[in-house]
Amino acid sequence: MKLYEQLLEALSVRIEQGYYPVGSKMPSIRTLSKERSVSISTVQEAYQRLEERGLVEVRPKSGYYVLGRSTTPTLPEVSRPAQRPLEVSHWEQVYHLLNTEKGVGHLSLGTAMPDVSSPTLKLLKKALVDSAKRTEDPFINYCDLRGSEKLRKQIARLALDSGCKLHPDEIIITSGCQEALVCSLRATTSPGDVVATDSPSFYGSTQAIKALGLKALEIPTHPETGISLEALELALDQWPIKAIQVTPTCNNPLGYTMPEDRRKALLRLAQQFDLPIIEDDIYGDLFYASPRPRTIKSFDEEGRVLLCSSFSKTLAYGLRLGWVAPGQCTERVLHKKFVSTVSNPPIQQAAVAEFIAQGGYERHMRIMRAQYQQARDLMIDLVERNFPEGTRISYPEGGYLLWVELPIEVDTIKLNKCLEEHKISIAPGVIFSASGKYRNCMRLSFAKKPDEAVNQAIKLMAKQIYQLLAEA
């Protein structure tokens, strides 16, 4: 790495870890030059790159200051879902969303896909090409049923950041996190069983519940602290729940990150009722601050937590590389994996393993976390300035998804139909509920820093919202 790149990375880490708080003044160019024994031009180049990443801003005749939002928006209300097990609905809306995401010239503001334009992914692209050249008969040979050992070793190393000490043999590679969730549900439940979930909840997991003939019991959820443990305990006393499925870090779509004491309490509750926890940690590595939160799995000494994750939301959706550490359920999950897809293509596994081993993953994460944090603040500012009074917005501490709660009179399915005439789409709130709640809510993505196209789309969206309010 060049000198300015070394300084850039060092300053980025210090900002990420809070050594330089939001709004604080950075060291002067001359001070850094003396401290680091580098030229003034080296420091200037590093500061210019920090500014491009959106981590700092320059104030004339004053210096560089750390950027970031210092106030929390008005958060969504605590959810109040139906207090009984339900069959999941709204597959048609989910299917519609997945189709509109791929339209040419279409601006999808509801999609949960990472920004793949970063130069830090060039090393991964090169690794993919090199893997295709090196792998012997890559298109005809099966991988190990558990997946590539090299990749599993690298995943085990990354898991240490979340407090998990996993052996590579405890990890099973899957076709994205979706297959990890499906195999985990199939290994812990039977058709007709009840699964407790946070609410709103990721439509992929609720649709898996639907496909497996299960019922979802949605638990009230706080936009900052997550699933209500008090409501969950009451539900466990009342209903024959067989598994608990949660996304405790950078939750999709509500954005909460469950505090550590509540994670431990949730695990104790699962122990008390002898239930498995299916933990979706797909956005965990995108937590803005350092260190990232520990997983519930990291506190589990019995193997009752099935930890699921993926590289789809951190690197590229099309890789379709996920993984699961199923604990006590390893053999059952392995069997479900076998009857589902047998194994995964070797080229992607070899490339991602190499990318992690060379340090490319950690560097990419550092840059993307900074980008997403800045984009979050810009998107919240756009929504606050344009949307009507009474709008509530989540404040995620990681990832690139916002949950927006509009006045009760606004129907986001109608809003989405209006927007699609202009080749714009959102993710209506109803698809994140088993019962079709959250009709006045929507999920917005800020994976790419809001540009003029997004700015105009938000203004158009606001115009349509005011029109729907007028018609109500």
Q: In this structure, which amino acid lies at residue 250? A: C
257's CB contacts (< 8 A; 6+ apart) are 226, 248, 249, 250, 251, 287, 293, 396, 397, 398
Task: Tell me the pLDDT of the chain averaged across its residues.
Answer: 92
CB 289 within 8 A of CB 153: no
pLDDT digits (tens, 9 = 90+) for 245-258: 999 999 999 999 99
pLDDT digits (tens, 9 = 90+) for 4-38: 999 998 998 888 777 888 888 999 999 999 999 99
Q: Where does the pLDDT of residue 103 fall: very low under 50, low under 70, confident under 90, or very high at 90 and above?
A: low
Q: Where does the pLDDT of residue 101 fall: very low under 50, low under 70, confident under 90, or very high at 90 and above?
A: low
Percent above pLDDT 70 for the chain: 97
* Lowest-confidence segment of 132-141, 145-154, 216-225, 358-367 by average pLDDT: 132-141
* Lowest-confidence segment of 79-88, 175-184, 419-428 by average pLDDT: 79-88
pTM for this structure?
0.88
pLDDT of residue 142 exceeding 70: no
Q: Residue 374: what are its φ and ψ, rounded to 5°? A: -65, -40
- Cis before residue 73, ω within 30 degrees of 0? no
pLDDT of residue 104 exceeding 80: no
